[in-house]
Amino acid sequence: MLFNSLRYVIFLPIVVTLYFSLPRRWRNLMLLIASYYFYMCWKPEYIVLIVASTVVDYVAGLKMGATDDRRLRRRYLIMSLVMNLGLLFTFKYFNFFNASLRSILDHFHIPYGFEGLHVLLPVGISFYTFQTLSYTIEVFRGHQKPERNFLTFALYVSFFPQLVAGPIERSVNLLPQFYREHRFQIDRAVSGLRLIMWGMFKKVVIADRVAVVVNTVYNDPYSYHGVAYLFATVLFAFQIYCDFSGYSDIAIGSARILGFDLMLNFDRPYYAKSIAEFWKRWHISLSTWFRDYLYISLGGNRVVRWRWYMNLFLTFVISGLWHGANWTFVIWGALNGFYLIAEIVFARPQKWLLNRLGIEHHQWRYKIPAVVWTFSLTCLAWIFFRANTVHDAFHIVAHLGDGVPSFFKSLLHGDLAVVSGVLKPLGLSRMDLFVVLAMIAVMEAVHFLQRDHRLGARLNGWPRPVRWAAYYAVLAFTLFFGAFNHSQQFIYFQF
């Protein structure tokens, strides 16, 4: 079930009504049934995978909790890792590695006949497997008591707002919330609905509109040139942000109405002044997952310098692979790892230079160029993330500057025929272009107001007519300018 569908608009109020109407002891069962239904709307048989993952991790947790023998506990942890990573490998990575192996063997003229598995990637598999893994790892580390109630644990794995695309919740945060009695609260409902509305705005007004240009260029890159690549890549940066953060907003908003608090997943990432900061603001639930369970397990920064760099690099490469079974994602991860290492290596000279220039804390002279520089690096990496093949990605990178100076020259001279000649093949009318740019500006204005995370509180302080006018405006823009007739699936569903 898609969040941006009529089905969800009907589903959510029914779930909320049932949840608050039922006696407390039936509520979790109802939520579990609703969550399974939510998932089964896509492909009913794949619910078996969630149930299998749930059962194995439930048992692993109980077994680990029942013994102090570290070796035995490790064995149960390995059982959980094998189960979850095995599922991931089979459904997500097997065909990728199989195809890679075949191309290597082809290169050496060694016959290899196995075509691969004919399976569909289960929606959300990367998310729920990582969520349950976090539970078993925490139990193994002794930070989390084993959950004895199977129903509660099953709900933790499959809680519908964040089941298919996160945020990847930690058991220490989410599990205790299933034991609390949630009362319907108007403030929470209003704030949840506000978040859902904002998420929908980002998704259907910006992400889905921008998708037309991005798909046009990236699905047929050899028919376009520099300006189109540049334009599509910058738009993709906004598309993926609006798509994914929009999803997270709807997830957090839906959970909030029900009385649950999910973690913040995006914190205005394109305001980051460095790549390190970007990764503290982008897909926070995944970044912290990799930090806590992979990077730190590898030794983090408490090792010799080259190992530290290796740990960082490896973490990002694996994070890239998590996003998709394609070398494009691996390169994307590697590129981000490289950026981060370069930042560490050049941190001292950079600090020295900024001190000498006296601009380190200067809003305009340092912060804005730093934000622009970070955004540019991120966009460069996004090319690999979005391109269909590595070859496409390198072609785009190699021709990114082609025709750009002459385009801007035409723009400066007001030669609109050339501008329109470039924009027309991208599938964007002047009206679409205006709407997209205006809405991105509106979103960034809201981000600016949200910089102290108190926009919600400030909104509540406004007189009702003004507040409602703002709601009506967002609602009207979403409904009238949303790309509903060619709605796209959420990008992160494929991960």
Partner 1 sequence: MPDDVRLFLRKLLIFSLPVWLYVAVVAAVDPYDALGTGLVGDEIKLQTAYKLNYALWKLARYRRDPRPLILLGDSRMMELPADSVTARAGMPCANLAYGGGSLREAIDTFWYATGRTRLREVCFGVGTTVFNDSERKDRVSEARACLRNPLLYLININVVRSTAMILTALVTGQEYHIGVPTMTPEQFWQHQLGRTARAAYTAYRYPRKYLDELSVVADYCRRNDIRLTFVVFPRHRDLRRLAAEMGLAEQEKRLREDLAALGEVFDLDYDNAITRDRSRFRDPFHFKESVVTIVLDSVWGDDRRWVRVVGDGRPGGGTNHG
> Which residues contact partner 1 by CB under 8 A?
6, 20, 183-186, 189, 216, 223, 416-418, 420-422, 424-427, 429, 468, 471-472, 479-482, 484-486
CB of 22 to partner 1, least distance (A): 13
- Least gap, CB of 477 to partner 1 (angstroms): 10
- Beta carbon nearer to partner 1, 56 or 207: 207
Separate counts of helices (H) and strands (E) for the chain:
23, 0
Question: Residue 98: which H helix or E strand, with range?
Answer: helix 94-107
Please state the closest distance from residue 470 (CB atom) to partner 1, in A.
Answer: 12
Q: How far is the CB of 466 from partner 1 (least distance, A)?
A: 14
In the complex, minimum distance from the CB of residue 199 to partner 1, in angstroms, rounded to a whole number: 18
**In angstroms, what is the minimal distance from the CB of 244 to partner 1?**
24
Residue 28 token pair: 């979790």
Measured N-to-C along each axis, helices 347-357 and 327-345 cross at an angle, to the nearest 10 degrees, of 50
Task: State the Cα–Cα distance between residues 42 and 123, nearest whole angstrom.
Answer: 8
Smaller CB separation from partner 1, 216 or 285: 216
Nearer to partner 1, 412 or 417 (CB): 417
Choice between 409 and 424, CB closer to partner 1: 424
Minimum separation from the CB atom of position 440 to partner 1 (A): 18
Report the alpha-carbon distance of residue 120 to residue 2 in Å, rounded: 18
CB closer to partner 1 out of 100 and 429: 429
Distances (CA, A) of 312 to 26, 83, 134, 297: 45, 26, 20, 12
| Residue 133 CB contacts under 8 Å (≥ 6 apart), including other chains | 57, 80, 81, 84, 85, 293
Q: Is 413 a catalytic residue?
A: no
Shortest CA distance to 167 belongs to which of 38, 39, 54, 253? 253
Return d(Cα 18, Cα 348) in angstroms, integer.
58
Size (the chain), residues = 495
* DSSP one-letter string for 185-253: -HHHHHHHHHHHHHHHIIIIIIIHHHHHHHHHHHTSGGG--HHHHHHHHHHHHHHHHHHHHHHHHHHHH
Burial class (CB in 10 A: 0-12, 13-18, 19+), 79: middle
191: which 2 tokens? 């704030």
Q: Which is nearer to partner 1, 184 or 293 (CB)?
A: 184
Marked catalytic residue, from 323, 361, 362, 413: 323
Residue 332 or residue 481: which is nearer to partner 1 going by CB? 481
Sign of CA dihedral 82, 83, 85, 86: positive
Find, among 330, 328, 308, 310, the residue nearest to 318 by Cα: 330
Shortest reach from residue 183's CB to partner 1, in Å: 7
Give 20 or 271: the residue with its C-beta nearer to partner 1. Answer: 20
User: What does the alpha-carbon distance between residue 62 and residue 146 come to, in Å, rounded to a whole number?
Assistant: 5
- CA 126/CA 495 separation, integer angstroms: 6
Task: Tell me the catalytic residues.
Answer: 323
